[in-house]
Structure 1
Amino acid sequence: MLLLALLLPLGASATHIVGGELDLQHSTGSNYTLTLNLYFDAINGSAGALDQSLIAGIFDKTTNQRLTLVTLPLTSNTFVQYTNPACAVGSLSTRKLVYAKDIVLDATTYANPAGYYVAVERCCRNLSISNIVNPGSAAQTFYLEFPAVVRSGAAFIDSTPRIFPPLGDYACRGELFYYDFGGVDPDGDSLVYDMVTPLNGHSTAAANNTAPLPTGAPYSPITWNAGLSTRNQIPGSPALGIDAHTGRLTVRASNLGLFVFGARCSEYRRGVKIGETRRDFQLYVLNCPTNTAPALQMHLAGSIINYRPGRDTLRLLPSGPRCLTIRYTDPDANSVLTMTSRPVNFTVPAVTFTTTATGTVRAATDTLTTTLCFPECTDTKGKVYLLDLIVADNGCSLPKHDTLRVAFTATQPPNAAPVLTTSFPPAPLPISDDVPAVVRVTMGQRYTATLAGTDADRNALALTATGAGFDLAAVGMQFTAQNGTGQANATFSWEPSCTAVAIAGEGGLLVHFQLAETGPCTPLPQTRTVRFEVVPAADPAVFKPANVITPNNDGLNDFFYMPDLPLDFCDQKFANIRIFSRWGQQVYSSSERGFQWGGMGTGGLYYYLVTYTDGRKFKGWVEVIL
């Protein structure tokens, strides 16, 4: 959570509350965690005012009826770490107190489309606040809104957006103060920010009313001093404001003092507001030592001409220099300067410093130098990319910067695609993974193919083969590659088995062959996809069993048999033969492919039925002549 720490004038009389915010996070099902982050003045606040628990109320937005009270026990008590310890002041120390409790928001109770709100009331604020009336009697109401947990009969889950940590602890009069108040939302909702007047509520400085049971809205706001308002909470040029989209707070305060301010983060889902949380903070404005901003200049390595922002565009070519020389300095002696780069309208590639980008200016005449290089593979694809070069000092309360925006175009070295040739049959045009080549391999025979890759750019080549959803070795496929620079060769071989047939099913086995190259900025891999199908060995040309036998023991046509039966193919096997009399009585049965039947000793017409395990059947008749 974001914190702006309180810094009070020495000797000032003060109470203990600096600010805070409520937070509601979904865990599982109907379970949520309700949290209050409260900031406590560890220097001027009394340790006796440190609550061991606080009470939150949950209310219906339509009726303001209180649905429940939740006791939030103190679960964490830590000191706030400041952005730049070197800028800290000894009289400034703030504790972050976390009060949290797991709660259940069931769909039967929290189903009002208008939503709900949570409130915690506590008194009092610091006496030294400069911008509100009677600050010693001003209380605080911590407030957030959340939607119904069910919508259109379905669960509707929402968590409070999380705000980033602080970037500064106090502001210097006449200097621009800023920090990133923008947050992230666990649900991906859109966030909108605005300034709001902090809420006072019903608690008072009376000893028995500093932490009353929260009651329903409306909550009275604090009262601004004359000339101040929600839009002018901390006077200056500019006055304190927040960017609606980014959450960036800025102010160049014109007055010294301690200022309370309020900001709101509203969350929207599909264009509809579903919740909000308010954050109540304080900012101290003081006189700071003069800090002059650093300055930088830049030119291409090997050139003495400085880059002119807004006029020059760098053109980075494959054969030309790709590094920038940056010189930066600061009129303030003993300033520590840090160089960073930030893409403006692109995300890749990362531009890196090849020399130290942080150094100390010992005197106003010192100049630091660093080198920034663009990767060889930077390619702006004909567009102009913008890169900010930023030098920052270590001044208080916030660093001062100088930014130089560099416009550049870049092209990468050319690369010709490698060539892949194979002995596989050609695929139907156009060649693609969706229309692979088909290779039919006969059971019991070995199939062999060769692959060769060449590259005119002499990049390193590698040939690989990958089964689509199966391991090549598991089905007996073998792939051996000899990879190298500018050339690669491979051999593929396979003798299918019934195991492979079972894995392939009716769709065959799909294998992706790839020729990959390494070294170029944009590799151009070549692929071939082949579908391997297993077919049985060719059946006898004619299946015409004899239909007459003469079982007279003369060695001619004594038995009925079928030497030309269709061949077995894995699980598609001969199952049995049965022979029936003309009246349908079974007279013979055998599960042996090499059966021999010599008749029943009775001449006449008989009928046979041959069955295979895959359901195929062959019917016919045979006549026995005695």
Structure 2
Amino acid sequence: MQQNYSLRLFKLFVLCLLGIALPRYVQATHIVGGEFELRYLGATSPYSHRINMNMYFDDINGNAQANDPTVTIFIFRKRDNAFMASVTMPRVSQELISYTNQSCAVGDLRTRLIQYSVDVTFPSDFNDTGGYYMVWERCCRNNVISNITDPGGAGSVFYLEFPAPYVGRAAFANTSPIFGKAIGDYICVNRPFTFSFAATDPDGDSLTYKIVTPYNGFSDRNQPNPSQAVPPRADAGPYPNVTWVTGISERNSIPGSLPLQVNARTGLLTVVAGTPGLYVFSVEVDEYRRVPGQAPVRIGRVRRDFQLKVLDCPVNNPPKIAMKLDGQKDFYKEGTVITIQEKDQNCFDLFVTDPDLNQRVTIVNASGTLPGLSLSATDMVIRSKSDTLKSRFCFGKCVGNGGVVTLAIRAVDESCPQGLSDTLYVQVRIVPEPVNRPDIITNLTNNKASITVGSSLSFNAIGTDTDGDIISIQAIGRGFTLSQANMSFSTTSGTGKLSPKFVWNPQCAQATRPEYIVDFIVTKQRCNRTYSDTVTVNLAAVGKPSQQPVITTSLSQSIVTMVVSPTDTTSIRFNVLANDPERDSLTMKMQGQGFDPRALGAKFTDKNGVPMLTSGFSWRPTCDMLNGKNEAIYTINFVADDRSCQPDHTDTTAIQVRLVNPAQAATEVVIPNVITPNGDGKNDVWQIPTLPVDNCSEQFRFVQIINRWGKEVFRSTTRDFQWDGDNLPVGTYYYLIQYTTQRFKGPLTIIR
């Protein structure tokens, strides 16, 4: 599991180490090379950065004890080389790196990639505008390196410069350039060799590459693994360099007819080495960030230290590739411009030979993207010296757009460590055919139509192309989309002749617009150019003539007054009738003014169809509809609509329902206070016929009688109650009559 550290703790950790005696480290011979990575983790991560170190190790001759489980790196401030922190990184993975062609592996060349990694959080005081750098030192290099002195005593330095992680207190997001994984290839004497040191930058910063002299650092045989920070002197450059042997410098670190070079823009290494040996070199990558309105500023730098082995390989010859046009007996001579008519088949024959037998030769297009490219054979095996392998190379139209274009066809064999190749460059001019524009018409008379709402219009847009190219037809409304206007048309593609259908089913909304203009466009592409033709149609929709419908009710008047009572179950009932003079299809609907009648219990069925339409209305209002008032008015509209798109396509009749809360009678309430329940038929029961009648605001709740000790002796919730004393003793009792808000109470005496 990867360990995580805080840089603030590293400072304390290092100070403690300075006073502790450490064991002697094993000398790490045969370090092949490597580099640092500093990756920004983002604001959502618990750590600000991840530090990776990639070490390439000689797996054949390397000292296994030098495969350290941890490494300690040191961080300095660039401005004054002040020590800032040390970071201990655990080993997290290791793997063997591969060859370009694994079958080309040699027994004494095997390289292991050992990776160390840790997540850290830089403290906010890492904000020096001059930036910082991190280093790791280890001795020693392979003692058989050919281009430096005393290689067995020379150290390796991994080095990375990075901008301040903070600008003031704000985080500065930046990830260092990230090298791709190296491969384990060797170089053959006097053969071209390429090796990619390309790096990527997740931030989109621009990168430049150059070959530099590798650092030696301060490590040596006696101190192979420095345990404490050793900053360079400010007057002596960053770190001591290795010492080249006589005649070697960074300009020819691998000497030969083409010394080692790196493409400053791509990071591609190229070399034709002249002498066998093991050669060390270093590639430095500078990272530039562009600020709007300013020149790019270098913000970072990373070095990859590496070594390559040059061998005296067995003799091998590259394949040879030639081309012959149809009907010609001579091979193509490079530099000759071939003129081909676009209408002709753009093909020619390729012939491949290779003096080295039993090798597979691959033909590849090195010209970039070509339209209609095809190769009849891409892999062939040379069986005899007289073998000539044949492949047919074809491409489509539009190559060069009438100008001269250079095609590159490459034959690559199975040579080790990288296939040898021969590239044939063919200059071609394709003479374009005359191009006819496609044509489009419609079968709509005069490209104009006016139709009545409710009907349908359809016609075809007819596109043709005499060249037989693929054409496409689309319809575009001016200032509207087809679907908005209830129009339908499917964009169609094909060759020759197309006739997709246009359909319009206008509704009333379309009758309000004077006209609709639709453009039908046919297009085709030829060699990245567009050819088109357009036909325009003018369309209009009109509503059909219609007289206004009529809607009535069976009521004799438009105002209905109803007294509402909590006990009354009477309903308002009437019929609604809709008619149309032309017997157009109607809709008949109920609409409340400011309320939903159905939510308040009104029953009415909306109708659709040919008149006459009839639907019954019923409603039993309740006290709740008074909303605590003595009167409420509800207006209900009944609407008939013939949907004719005319201004007077509806008729409305309104019914006003007036709900009234009945007032309680102002008569005096007479409550007897004596009863004589002796069976003589006079004053035998206690009853109160003059109690107020219930209405929506005052309603009888209960009557209660208690004795003088407060015990209830009678209760009733019926307004028409009667009480005969229930054989209770003579004496005085007390009554309470409760309405919603009113109450009546007093004494009641029983006399026998």
TM value normalised by structure 2: 0.61
Counterparts of 2:267 and 2:423, CA distance in 1: 21
**Per-residue CA distance 1:382-427 (angstroms, 9 max, x = gap):** 3211122222222233332222211112245544332223489999
Specify the alignment match of 2:109 in structure 1: 92
Among 350, 368, 374, the alignment partner of 2:389 is 368
Among 333, 338, 341, the alignment partner of 2:365 is 341
**Per-residue CA distance 1:201-239 (angstroms, 9 max, x = gap):** 2333347x5253444343221122233222232232332
- Change in 2 beyond 3 A, CA 1:210/1:524: same
Specify the alignment match of 1:291 in structure 2: 316
Q: Which amino acid aligns with 1:197?
A: T
Q: Aligned-pair distance for 1:300?
A: 1.4
TM value normalised by structure 1: 0.72
| Contact 2:399–2:405 (8 Å) recurs in 1 | no
Counterparts of 1:177 and 1:161, CA distance in 2: 24
Q: Aligned-pair distance for 1:309?
A: 0.8
* Counterparts of residues 177-576 of structure 1 (less than 5 Å): 177-206=193-222, 209-210=224-225, 212-217=227-232, 218-270=238-290, 271-310=296-335, 312-343=336-367, 347-349=369-371, 351-354=373-376, 356-375=377-396, 377-422=397-442, 448=458, 450-459=460-469, 463=473, 476-479=486-489, 486-495=496-505, 515=522, 524=531
Counterparts of 2:239 and 2:475, CA distance in 1: 70
| Contact 2:110–2:184 (8 Å) recurs in 1 | no
SS at match of 2:303: strand
Higher relative contact order (CA 8 A, sep 6+): 1
Q: Which amino acid aligns with 2:305?
A: D
Specify the alignment match of 1:546 in structure 2: none
| Contact 1:83–1:166 (8 Å) recurs in 2 | no
Instruction: Say whether 1:35 aligns with 2:56.
Output: no
Instruction: Say whether 1:170 aligns with 2:175.
Output: no
Instruction: Say whether 1:146 aligns with 2:162.
Output: yes
| Contact 2:161–2:302 (8 Å) recurs in 1 | yes
Specify the alignment match of 1:583 in structure 2: none
Q: Which amino acid aligns with 1:19?
A: G
Counterparts of 2:424 and 2:225, CA distance in 1: 53
Among 154, 176, 181, the alignment partner of 1:160 is 176
Among 88, 95, 99, the alignment partner of 1:78 is 95
SS at match of 1:239: strand
| Contact 2:134–2:159 (8 Å) recurs in 1 | yes
| Contact 1:145–1:277 (8 Å) recurs in 2 | yes
Q: Aligned-pair distance for 1:530?
A: 9.1
Specify the alignment match of 2:568 in structure 1: none
Q: Which amino acid aligns with 1:141?
A: V
- Change in 2 beyond 3 A, CA 1:382/1:490: closer
| Contact 1:162–1:185 (8 Å) recurs in 2 | yes
Counterparts of 1:444 and 1:410, CA distance in 2: 57
Q: Which amino acid aligns with 1:307?
A: Y
- Change in 2 beyond 3 A, CA 1:529/1:147: farther
- Change in 2 beyond 3 A, CA 1:36/1:460: closer
SS at match of 2:499: strand
| Contact 2:31–2:142 (8 Å) recurs in 1 | yes
- Change in 2 beyond 3 A, CA 1:539/1:425: farther
Instruction: Say whether 1:53 aligns with 2:66.
Output: no
Specify the alignment match of 1:16 in structure 2: 30
Bigger Cα Rg: 2
SS at match of 2:249: coil
Q: Aligned-pair distance for 1:280?
A: 0.5
Counterparts of 1:510 and 1:71, CA distance in 2: 75
Counterparts of 1:194 and 1:388, CA distance in 2: 29
- Change in 2 beyond 3 A, CA 1:324/1:126: same
Counterparts of 1:87 and 1:197, CA distance in 2: 30
Instruction: Say whether 1:44 aligns with 2:57.
Output: no
SS at match of 2:173: coil
Counterparts of 1:529 and 1:35, CA distance in 2: 66
* Counterparts of residues 558-597 of structure 1 (less than 5 Å): 594-595=652-653
Q: Which amino acid aligns with 2:189?
A: R
Counterparts of 1:531 and 1:178, CA distance in 2: 66
- Change in 2 beyond 3 A, CA 1:258/1:113: same
Identity, % of aligned positions: 36
- Change in 2 beyond 3 A, CA 1:172/1:531: farther
Q: Aligned-pair distance for 1:450?
A: 4.3
- Change in 2 beyond 3 A, CA 1:82/1:483: closer
Structure 1 stretch displaced more, 408-417 or 60-69:
408-417
Q: Aligned-pair distance for 1:371?
A: 1.4
**Per-residue CA distance 1:1-55 (angstroms, 9 max, x = gap):** xxxxxxxxxxxx9923111111223342373332111111111123222112222
Q: Aligned-pair distance for 1:111?
A: 3.2
Counterparts of 1:14 and 1:176, CA distance in 2: 32
Q: Which amino acid aligns with 1:112?
A: D
Counterparts of 2:450 and 2:128, CA distance in 1: 66
- Change in 2 beyond 3 A, CA 1:81/1:478: same
- Change in 2 beyond 3 A, CA 1:137/1:461: closer
Q: Aligned-pair distance for 1:142?
A: 0.6
Q: Which amino acid aligns with 1:486?
A: G
- Change in 2 beyond 3 A, CA 1:73/1:484: closer
| Contact 1:412–1:521 (8 Å) recurs in 2 | no
| Contact 1:124–1:136 (8 Å) recurs in 2 | yes
Counterparts of 1:303 and 1:71, CA distance in 2: 71
Counterparts of 1:461 and 1:86, CA distance in 2: 52
Counterparts of 1:93 and 1:191, CA distance in 2: 30
Q: Which amino acid aligns with 1:54?
A: V
SS at match of 1:381: helix
Q: Aligned-pair distance for 1:143?
A: 0.8
Counterparts of 1:588 and 1:171, CA distance in 2: 100
User: Where does the alignment leave 5 or more consecutive residues of structure 1 unmatched?
Assistant: 1-12, 428-436, 542-562, 564-573, 578-586, 599-626
SS at match of 1:306: coil
Specify the alignment match of 1:3 in structure 2: none
| Contact 1:80–1:95 (8 Å) recurs in 2 | yes
User: Where does the alignment leave 5 or more consecutive residues of structure 2 unmatched?
Assistant: 1-26, 233-237, 291-295, 549-579, 581-590, 595-632, 639-650, 657-752
Counterparts of 1:531 and 1:332, CA distance in 2: 75
- Change in 2 beyond 3 A, CA 1:222/1:371: same
Counterparts of 1:28 and 1:72, CA distance in 2: 21
- Change in 2 beyond 3 A, CA 1:117/1:381: same
Aligned length in residues: 528
Instruction: Say whether 1:66 aligns with 2:83.
Output: yes
Counterparts of 1:291 and 1:45, CA distance in 2: 31
Q: Aligned-pair distance for 1:80?
A: 1.0
Instruction: Say whether 1:111 aligns with 2:135.
Output: no
Q: Which amino acid aligns with 2:318?
A: A
- Change in 2 beyond 3 A, CA 1:302/1:17: same
Counterparts of 2:136 and 2:330, CA distance in 1: 62
Counterparts of 2:116 and 2:58, CA distance in 1: 16
Q: Which amino acid aligns with 2:113?
A: K
| Contact 1:119–1:214 (8 Å) recurs in 2 | no
SS at match of 1:277: strand
Counterparts of 1:287 and 1:485, CA distance in 2: 61
SS at match of 1:452: strand
Counterparts of 2:537 and 2:119, CA distance in 1: 57
Q: Aligned-pair distance for 1:298?
A: 1.0
